[in-house]
A and B are shown apart, each in its own frame.
Chain A
Amino acid sequence: MPDVVPLLRSAPAHELAARLRQEDRLALSRMISAVEAGRSDARRELRHLFALGGKAHVVGITGPPGSGKSTLTTALAKAYRARGETVGVVAVDPSSPFTGGAILGDRIRMMELHDDPGVFVRSMATRGLTGGLARSTMDVVALLDAFGKDVIVVETVGVGQDEVEIARTADSTIVVGVPGLGDHIQSIKAGVLEIADILVVNKADLPGAQQVVNDLRAMLSLGATRTPGWTPPIQETVATTARGIPELVKQIDAHVQFLKDSGSWRARRAENARRQVLGILEDHVRSAFERTIRSETWEARFRNIAARTEDPYAVADELLREVALGDDNE
């Protein structure tokens, strides 16, 4: 006997959305897939669901591969659950640029959350987007938000240099460093440090942790912080044993309070919205161009460029004119 009414993945999006609003987890899951697949009916429903959100606090976790992001995410989720808050997790892993395939393995570290209905974990593949997030990450966050999650943790792919998209998605961005990755720490200093609201030195039980803390402190003292009035705290953690996790949760709370008190909250969300709108536009424009160039005429032009009988600048200008003048196929 089925305990729930089956919900086929081909169900219309309005049905998915209606059941999502009644906290139906299967509907949430299938709505995420529909949005990720770019289904037009799902996009329309997403617009309505968007209005229901805005209440969740979005925490971003980024750092180099192997720094313990998934374990940290799990530890944070458990800490929030212990306070009675519901948690959504979005874990992003890279797609192969060659085959489009992906191994989504963050869940291995999160299996201990499986029997808690207050936690919903979704893995996503980047599907061609660079910057550490997947194309639909913001949409999935919006769906989890509309579903009613109190905290949404977004874990990026392993990054280290300029993959800073997470800072345009999260309210609080946590950058994770670990001892023993000398070169990676160098790159964190150079690129990702500026986006940190909170710095975590994970695996703090390993030799060299204090050095990483000192390095980060030295960098911060140079003044390269993101928000005036907020100096990112540096928190040491051992995510596997939850050492430092209660303190980290307090740091995040303090950051939330700071955002609210200082008014940065709205400013930051407005800035993120600007980025999001540009991103959506970019997707629309790119797909319009990709549809247009899928023809032998344009393929011939590309061969001409390869043979140096034409140049890419002129061809791009011409393509722009053709798409701009083309039929409005909305």
Chain B
Amino acid sequence: MTAAAPAEIRRVLIAKPGLDGHDRGAKVIARALRDAGFEVVYTGIRQTPEMIAEAALQEDVDAIGLSILSGAHMTLFPRIVEELRKRGLDDVVVWAGGIIPAADAAKLREMGITAVFGPGSPTTETIAFLRAGGGRSA
């Protein structure tokens, strides 16, 4: 392998920012990604943006999946993106799942959240998204 080979997505962080305590969706996706061959770091519920960014740094994940149901995504996601940038993690793919209105999803994409999966999305969509590089420009 050469030094400059673009890394495929292999390590993924699944995080639940904010205060909602329902992590069934996060666990379903973590399990599905494991079964698809990814190494999934799972951090549990009630994570602050700093905690998520710090875990991403220490674990050197290729991608971060944010699961959120509380409605606080427009507050929390920009802060997470900012915390990642502060740590020099500009090349980490960030995507989201949960209850996120379409209008918000468009704004989140502009902020660098490369995909938003709503309720009922099959896990195969997320897997295909990650295998295709997570919308990351090489």
Contact = CB atoms under 8 A, between A and B. Distances in A.
A271 B51 CA distance: 39
Nearest to A31: B60
Interface string B28-48: 001101111111111110010
B7 A9 contact: yes
Given A6-B90, A29-B58, A39 B1 contact: yes
For the complex of A and B, 4 pairs with smallest distance between CB atoms: A101-B34, A108-B44, A4-B88, A29-B60
A313 to B, nearest CB: 34
Interface stretch (A118-126, A235-243, A280-288, A293-301): A118-126
Contact of A100 (B37, B47, B51): B37
Given A10-B7, A29-B60, A111 B34 contact: no
17 contacts: A2-B85, A4-B86, A10-B3, A13-B3, A25-B58, A26-B89, A29-B57, A29-B59, A99-B35, A99-B36, A101-B37, A101-B38, A107-B42, A107-B55, A111-B43, A114-B54, A115-B50
Interface of A: 2-13, 25-26, 29-30, 32-33, 37-41, 95-96, 99-105, 107-108, 111, 114-115, 120-123, 125
Given A4-B87, A37-B7, A101-B33, 17 more contacts: A4-B86, A6-B90, A9-B91, A10-B3, A13-B3, A25-B57, A29-B60, A32-B60, A33-B60, A40-B1, A96-B37, A101-B40, A103-B30, A103-B40, A104-B39, A111-B43, A115-B54
Given A4-B88, A100-B37, A10 B42 contact: no
Contacts of B36: 99, 101
B5 interface: yes
Interface of B: 1, 3-7, 11, 30-31, 33-44, 47, 50-51, 54-55, 57-60, 62, 85-91
A26 B87 contact: yes
A182 to B, nearest CB: 30
A104 B44 CA distance: 11
Nearest to A93: B39
A329 B44 CA distance: 46
Contacts of A100: 37
A111 B51 contact: yes
Contacts of B40: 101-104
A115 B87 CA distance: 14
B60 A39 contact: no
A9 B60 contact: yes
B88 A107 contact: no
Given A2-B85, A4-B86, A96-B34, A102 B39 contact: yes
B3 A41 contact: yes
Contacts of A37: 1, 7
B59 A123 contact: yes
Contacts of A122: 58-59
Contacts of A102: 34, 39-40
Contacts of B3: 10-13, 39, 41
Nearest to A42: B3
Nearest to A32: B60
A32 B11 CA distance: 13
A97 to B, nearest CB: 12
B6 A10 contact: yes
A103 B31 contact: yes
Contact of A2 (B30, B33, B47, B90): B90
Contacts of A11: 3
A3 B86 contact: yes
Contacts of B58: 25, 29, 120-122
A280 B77 CA distance: 43
Most buried by B among A5, A33, A37, A115: A33
A108 B43 contact: yes
B88 A7 contact: yes
Contacts of A6: 88-91
Most buried by B among A3, A29, A32, A39: A29
Contact of B42 (A8, A9, A25, A105): A105
Contacts of A41: 3
